[in-house]
Structure 1
Amino acid sequence: MARFRPLVEEREALLATGVRDPFSIVMTSVLSPTEAIIQGKRTILLGTYNYMGMTFDPDVIAAGKKALDEYGAGTTGSRVLNGTYQGHKECEDALKEFYGTDHAIVFSTGYQANLGIISTLAGKGDYIILDADSHASIYDGCWLGNAEIVRFRHNSVEDLDKRLGRLPREAGKLVVLEGVYSMFGDVAPLPEMVAVARKHGAMILCDEAHGMGFFGANGRGVYEEMGCEDDIDFVVGTFSKSVGTVGGFCVSNHPDFEVLRLVCRPYIFTASLPPSVVATAATSIRKLMHASDKRAHLWKNSRRLHAGLRELGFTIATETAQSAIIAIMLSDQETAVALWQALLEGGVYVNLARPPATPAGTFLLRCSLCAEHSDAQVDEILAIFAAAGRAIGHIG
């Protein structure tokens, strides 16, 4: 534990200044997809990844209650033993219909989906080529599989091409991309990257955790929006964002895909999702197939908040609204925490992100919009940001 002592001391010094701990917030009551009671105060939720607002959908809740009554609280077993119920198959069928693929596999979390698929596809002697800003679950999947890791500069097609060109032609190669990168909310140039990966004979996995639900005509993600559906070998995602529950998945048209159920350790050696969870997921996924109005409203919210924050004088990580994530860049931890607390006291919860989750020296307040945020709530959010920014002297 000695190696964590500097972090402990930094945290103790921060809390000694009288600020609340940004990483131990408790929601005593959740009122809707967009509001909760935090420390006795009505608070607008602007940091939950509940992009499509499905957590309180009546059909989703009813499906979960029905499955809980009919199948009980849990499976007490792995998917390859006693832990596959009818609901798990129905959830995988919903995914296949949503994505238009031949195969789908459901994991107990989104983290395990990346951990399992990446570590199984690429092992010792293979190469995984990934964006330097990839999610922790992607890096952990690389390490579990013991493949050689090759990083390229964030969203750099040129650097991806260069690094692929240095690898042995005969070696197995897996290029891992993300549709939306969660820290800054920016989108990958997928068509150009896919073309480069194909040129070098690599398989391609795209993580659509933050793109599922509102990118593309069918809500499949950035890869659909950018016309790459026929070129991506594997799509990984999560239920804990737009779907509004918990779990992870991978979909694919690869002819040998089903063998993964027999060799993927994070799938084999963990308990399956409870029946109520897969029931809520399947119902939510099927409703997202027909959610074009919600997608349009979410994009409206994102553009309004991005433009409004820039007009107030905040520095945003992207020039335009590229996704439902809007990241406010701050120069130091003290300013970031002060603004975070001022917003919370004003009635808005956002996520504070700091190294090592962000690049060294980068501190963010990360806003995650929801399709259920009303126009009036966006107005209120902007007013609270204005008051908080001025109160700490960050904006004029």
Structure 2
Amino acid sequence: MSDLLSKFDALAAERAGVLTAGVRDPFAIVMEQVKSPTEAVIDGRDTILLGTYNYMGMTFDPDVIAAGQEALAKFGAGTTGSRVLNGTYQGHKACEEALKDFYGMDHAIVFSTGYLANLGIVSTLAGKGDYIILDADSHASIYDGCYLGNADIVRFKHNSAEDLEKRLRRLPPEAGKLVILEGVYSMLGDIAPLKELVAIAKAHGAMVLVDEAHGMGFFGENGRGVYEAAGVADDVDFVIGTFSKSVGTVGGFCVSNHPKFEILRLVCRPYVFTASLPPAVVACAATSIRKLMHAHDKRARLWDMSRKLHGGLIAQGFRLATATPESAIVSVLMPDQETTVRMWQALLELGVYVNMSRPPATPAGVFLLRCSLCAAHSAEQLEAVLQHFERAAAETGLFRQAAE
């Protein structure tokens, strides 16, 4: 009998080889206690969290927690139903109203996760005979949305306006076209040149969807994302986002000014056939979103922390994925998987948690330690992080290895 899991044997062997070297499993970390947005207990040790996407530090905001506690007491633990059946509570509508106010858009739809938002919107918008044109480095949820639908998929080189235009020129002018972009790309922390890309898409008659999962909260005057900072809001048809980054809870959404947008509630399968978010979650999200409308000081602090971490690591001799700080993600390039794992473990033992990233999550041949800053990080924590990076590099011989 054929073993359906045998196709993963090579990956299992690779993982086993790493772990037999006395290394912790980077993908099986347990947070024994979470003390704040920036500190947790891991392996019994106080640890600075530098890999959580908790950009605006909203997970422990007192107003957010109070809203969740009140909704939990009034509406119970869950909805046990889809949004189109019994799963729409007052809180779901309030959350969508908060999103419309935050983005200045006419329509908002909330999904149970950010993954489902991309899966649902992408697969529903573009069907047979249509084309989806997407950046080659697009998130897995975007690719999965493409695969769930029936549209033809066209990839263009990462952040290349020239390649996007070349691909669009080859498509039938009368065909439906959806160009999908991301404000911030989560692996390298680089941002898309949205002004150029959106202009090209519109010149070729395409609709534009921008995923602002990692841009919401601190890009643009109102924190709406890179598309706002780039001044292309009037030319973007759909914005996708998530609650699991800057908002500080879980869920996903899409906002739009399209006059026919509401029909998506009846035809989008990952919306129709998924249980809705628990009342406490949407109450937390709505409160957090409304507070983010006035988070100018937090945005300024987050940018300051990003510049300091980026500059500090460069000064120590680390190679970073971007020449300048482009977002709250600072990715440190590593030469290979073994070195990446050893550096990751050395940092963890020193009391710093970062994300270890490798292909296929990253581009082919790219290994990195991904740092995600939080507006709640203190100057003392940032200084400790820089010291621990320097010490971890010395313990693992990273710079000596690079010199050889």
Residue 108 of structure 2: aligned partner:
104
Which of 6, 9, 15 is 1:11 aligned to?
15
Residue 236 of structure 1: aligned partner:
240
**Structure 1 residue 189 displacement after superposition:** 0.3
Q: Distance in 1 between matches of 2:57 and 2:212?
A: 17
Which of 66, 71, 74 is 1:67 aligned to?
71
Q: Is 2:257 the counterpart of 1:253? A: yes
Q: Distance in 1 between matches of 2:92 and 2:237?
A: 23
Q: Is 2:327 the counterpart of 1:327? A: no
Q: Distance in 2 between matches of 1:89 and 1:42?
A: 39
One-letter code aligned to 1:242: S
SS in 2 for 1:367: strand
CA offset digits 1:287-312 (Å, max 9, x no partner): 00000000000000000000000110
Q: Is 2:283 the counterpart of 1:279? A: yes
Which of 96, 113, 119 is 1:115 aligned to?
119
**Structure 1 residue 361 displacement after superposition:** 1.2
Q: Sequence identity of aligned pairs in percent?
A: 73
Q: Is the 1:34–1:372 Cα contact (8 Å) retained in structure 2?
A: yes
Q: Is 2:140 the counterpart of 1:133? A: no
Residue 197 of structure 2: aligned partner:
193
Residue 144 of structure 1: aligned partner:
148
Q: Distance in 2 between matches of 1:151 and 1:371?
A: 35
**Structure 1 residue 395 displacement after superposition:** 2.8
Q: Is the 1:312–1:395 Cα contact (8 Å) retained in structure 2?
A: no
Matches within 5 A, 1:346-357: 346-357=350-361
**Structure 1 residue 360 displacement after superposition:** 1.5
SS in 1 for 2:173: coil
Q: Distance in 1 between matches of 2:143 and 2:107?
A: 24
Q: Distance in 2 between matches of 1:312 and 1:347?
A: 19
**Structure 1 residue 22 displacement after superposition:** 0.5
Q: Is the 1:190–1:228 Cα contact (8 Å) retained in structure 2?
A: yes
Residue 48 of structure 2: aligned partner:
44
Q: Distance in 1 between matches of 2:54 and 2:399?
A: 29
SS in 1 for 2:32: strand
Paired residue total: 396
Residue 160 of structure 1: aligned partner:
164
**Structure 1 residue 11 displacement after superposition:** 0.8
Q: Distance in 1 between matches of 2:399 and 2:44?
A: 28
Q: Distance in 2 between matches of 1:384 and 1:16?
A: 25
Large movers: runs of 4+ above 6 Å:
none
**Structure 1 residue 284 displacement after superposition:** 0.1
Q: Distance in 2 between matches of 1:390 and 1:227?
A: 44
Residue 317 of structure 2: aligned partner:
313
SS in 2 for 1:395: helix
CA offset digits 1:160-188 (Å, max 9, x no partner): 00000000011100000000000000000
Where do 5+ consecutive residues of structure 2 fail to align? none
SS in 2 for 1:249: strand
Q: Distance in 2 between matches of 1:195 and 1:215?
A: 20
One-letter code aligned to 1:136: A
Residue 182 of structure 2: aligned partner:
178
Q: Distance in 1 between matches of 2:364 and 2:210?
A: 25
One-letter code aligned to 1:221: G
Q: Distance in 1 between matches of 2:325 and 2:213?
A: 18
TM-score, normalised to structure 1's length? 1.00
Q: Is 2:308 the counterpart of 1:304? A: yes
CA offset digits 1:200-239 (Å, max 9, x no partner): 0000000000000000010000000110110100000000
SS in 1 for 2:304: helix
**Structure 1 residue 318 displacement after superposition:** 0.2
Q: Is 2:105 the counterpart of 1:92? A: no
Matches within 5 A, 1:211-230: 211-230=215-234
**Structure 1 residue 359 displacement after superposition:** 1.3
What is the aligned-residue RMSD (CA, Å)?
Answer: 0.5
**Structure 1 residue 331 displacement after superposition:** 1.4
Residue 360 of structure 1: aligned partner:
364
CA offset digits 1:89-120 (Å, max 9, x no partner): 00000000000000000000000000000000
Q: Distance in 2 between matches of 1:61 and 1:395?
A: 44
One-letter code aligned to 1:281: A
Q: Distance in 1 between matches of 2:27 and 2:202?
A: 42
SS in 2 for 1:116: helix
One-letter code aligned to 1:96: K
**Structure 1 residue 151 displacement after superposition:** 0.2
Residue 295 of structure 1: aligned partner:
299
Q: Is the 1:63–1:283 Cα contact (8 Å) retained in structure 2?
A: yes
CA offset digits 1:103-141 (Å, max 9, x no partner): 000000000000000000001111000000000000000
Q: Is the 1:340–1:350 Cα contact (8 Å) retained in structure 2?
A: yes
Q: Distance in 2 between matches of 1:260 and 1:354?
A: 36
Residue 85 of structure 2: aligned partner:
81
CA offset digits 1:330-388 (Å, max 9, x no partner): 11000000000000001100000011111121101000000000111111110111110
Q: Distance in 2 between matches of 1:366 and 1:148?
A: 33
One-letter code aligned to 1:75: T
Q: Distance in 2 between matches of 1:11 and 1:223?
A: 39
